[in-house]
Amino acid sequence: MPEYGAPPQVKPKRLGDYLEVMSKAVFQSGMSWQVVNKKWDGIRDAFRDFDAEGVARLGEREIDALTQDTRVIRNRRKIEAIIENANRMLALEAEHGGFRKYLRSHGGFEATVKDLRKNFRFMGEMGCFYFLYVVGETVPEYEAWCRSRGREPMAASPARLS
């Protein structure tokens, strides 16, 4: 098995950058990261370059079209989750004066993860770790975090791959 490193981090400049990273975590939930990576350019295009306001406005007709679009992973529940997550991001950004301010309003990693899981669909612990790491927030050391949850770190884990 080849060695894999941590995914590249991004410096979000717009809400859509956060939405894109979160959406990748949503699509990786229960799926092979390789499949998600292979389709990512098509997914980005289909989701309007993750313009948060544009994604938030997608309606039934667009959802139906996305479930038929071979460029994307055609899981209706995940597609609907991404749209709901975009709406929630917009609300939290407005409430906190910025999404980064929202992320930093919890007083630490565990509290942030708990709130992310409460506010966003398809965001499990691994997805939250991945999301926070990639957008440049402070996260625990990966191997220690895995051990704290009684699991062995995996080289091919979505939290370590992009």
- Is residue 151 classed as helix, strand or coil in its secondary structure? coil
Measured CA to CA, the distance from residue 159 to residue 2 in angstroms comes to 16
Q: In terms of residues, how long is the chain?
A: 162
Mean of pLDDT values over 114-136: 97
pTM: 0.91
Handedness of CA 80, 142, 105, 113 (dihedral sign): positive
CATH number for the domain running over 15-160? 1.10.340.30
Mean of pLDDT values over 9-34: 96
Measured CA to CA, the distance from residue 66 to residue 43 in angstroms comes to 9
* pLDDT at 60 > cutoff 70: yes
Residues 6+ apart with CB under 8 A from 87: 56
Higher pLDDT, 135 or 6: 135
End-to-end Cα separation, the chain, in angstroms: 17
Mean of pLDDT values over 78-104: 98
- Is residue 137 classed as helix, strand or coil in its secondary structure? coil
Crossing angle of helices 76-96 and 15-28, in 10° steps, is 150
Mean pLDDT check: name the lowest of 42-51, 83-92, 110-119, 147-156: 147-156
* pLDDT at 71 > cutoff 70: yes
Q: What is the residue extent of each domain of the chain?
A: 15-160
